Amino acid sequence: MNHDDYLEHLGIYYSQKMKVLAKNPQFISCKGDSLTSKKVFTETDKDITISCSEKKQDILFIVTLSKYIHKENEIQKLLDNLNKSFDSKGYNFEVLNNHNLIKDYDKYSSFKTENQQKIEEIKNKYKELYYNHITEKIEGFYKNRITLLKELNLITFQLKNKAENYIDLRKKYVGLVTQLQNEYLEFQELIGKITRNEDSIIITNNQKNPFIKVSDGSVKIVNENYEELLKSNKPKRESKKNNFNKGDKNLTPEEKSCQVVMCKNEVYETTHKKDFRKWALKNHPDKKKGENTEENEKINNEFQIMSDCNDKGILCPESKKKPDKKPDKKPDKTPDKKPDKKKTPVLKLKQDKTDPDEPSPETPTPKKKTLTIDDFKEDMRVEWQHRGKLIQGTVDKINKRKKNKLMIIWDNGDNKEVEINKLKIIEG
């Protein structure tokens, strides 16, 4: 696995551990396991392990940690070993060998060479990791700086000769100077103070990273299904349709009481979102206030019960829906038309007096007055036809810009616009 996989599994390990330490019941055990077998997190200097129990066969994956050493501390340990010598007595084997006082000089020589090689390896590794990186940064910084300075010199020359695009050149000049300053400050933060001589670049007061990576981290996947096992143990919410098809005999007492409440307030399975919202807007404790504390508690309890039943998906079955009351159709009083009999023409004489019941042709019948927005006032009672039903309400704030519609507070708690030509003012 690459370095990204190593970091990803480190994140998974500590994310799972945080959830368990926070005592989140959904993550204490692996998915599908009982709460008695909890996840186990094992940490050593070399690796970290996550498993579903203390058994070895339940291990999910093992992360072998990257190994780092501190440059100065490690070199100091090796120097101390050289000073103490391989027998830890601190004798000077060079002097003793010159006087032929020891026989195991070869062991000392190999021990000394081995420790010196380790010190050189650490120094070379540190130089490779740090100075090569710094050298690339320095070269890139100065190459870019030389390019920007050449461009600045050209713009300065053009400004002195008062070129036509003088204003644009000034703006470009200021932008380049700002860019040079920002790059220099960023570079100082990265490598410290810089002084450049004729032949070399000297870095002073630089805070170098003292650690060296000796070996890369790795991941060993023991259980290929670990991602699924580490998921939440949260139970799946039953589909609301499951409760609709239950027979009354299979319902629990809680479901029966919920159905009674839902049917009472007309919250049905097929239109439960619209029905519950309509009921909640009208009966919310913030809107519906009782006359005393007992009534307020009753309103709060009823709203809580309705909310719980709605969240659990226990609604009123469609089979118990009350039929809509539709107005009975009045029978037609118009008699069946009989075929016209042939009438003999009768000559009628003109009468001097006209029938008083018949309107004269000269005076037309008065037309019904159409209402406008000016005919309405706030808090005025009105009524109108909506889906075959007669609805009543109260006029809310009047917006003169909307000449064809009015905002009406319906008696069922809704607040909607209604067209003026549908409205009728209730007198009294």
The predicted pLDDT at position 118 comes to 83
Domain match, 123 and 197 both: yes
Domain match, 83 and 204 both: yes
Domain match, 179 and 296 both: no
In a domain, 411, yes or no: yes
CATH of the domain at 395: 2.30.30.30
Domain match, 75 and 206 both: yes
Whole-number Å distance between alpha carbons of 236 and 229: 16
Give Cα 139 distance to the centre of its chain: 44
Domain match, 155 and 266 both: no
Tens of pLDDT along 51-95?
A: 988 888 889 999 999 888 887 888 888 788 777 665 666 566 666
At 354, the amino acid letter reads T
Confidence of residue 242 (pLDDT cuts 50, 70, 90): very low
Mean pLDDT (the chain) is 76
Domain match, 38 and 95 both: no
In a domain, 388, yes or no: yes
Domains in the chain, number: 4
The CB density around residue 125, as the number of other CB atoms within 10 Å, is 15
Interval 169-179 mean pLDDT: 90
Residue that finishes a domain, picked among 195, 229, 263: 229
Phi-psi region of 120 (alpha: psi -120 to 50; beta: other; left: phi over 0): alpha
User: Does residue 49 have a pLDDT over 70?
Assistant: yes
Whole-number Å distance between alpha carbons of 365 and 315: 56
Give Cα 219 distance to the centre of its chain: 30
Interval 236-263 mean pLDDT: 65
Q: Phi and psi at residue 194, in whole multiples of 5°?
A: -120, 130
In a domain, 199, yes or no: yes
Phi-psi region of 181 (alpha: psi -120 to 50; beta: other; left: phi over 0): alpha
Interval 201-222 mean pLDDT: 72
Tens of pLDDT along 81-135?
A: 777 665 666 566 666 666 666 666 677 777 788 888 888 888 787 777 667 777 7
Domain match, 222 and 175 both: no
Whole-number Å distance between alpha carbons of 145 and 177: 11
SS3 sequence of 329-351: CCCCCCCCCCCCCCCCCCCCCCC
Place of tokens 């049917």: 263
Cα–Cα distance list, 38 to 23, 28, 29, 30, 50 (Å) = 11, 6, 4, 7, 11
Confidence of residue 301 (pLDDT cuts 50, 70, 90): confident
Give the ranges where 40-104 is alpha helix by DSSP (H): 71-84, 93-98
Asked if residue 378 lies in contact with residue 398, where contact means CB atoms within 8 angstroms, the answer is: yes
In a domain, 356, yes or no: no
Domain match, 204 and 222 both: no
Domain match, 77 and 58 both: no
Domain match, 195 and 114 both: yes
In a domain, 340, yes or no: no
Q: Which domain holds residue 16?
A: 3-66+216-229
For 11-15, 220-224, 226-230, 293-297, which range has the lowest pLDDT when averaged over its residues? 293-297
Domain match, 76 and 205 both: yes
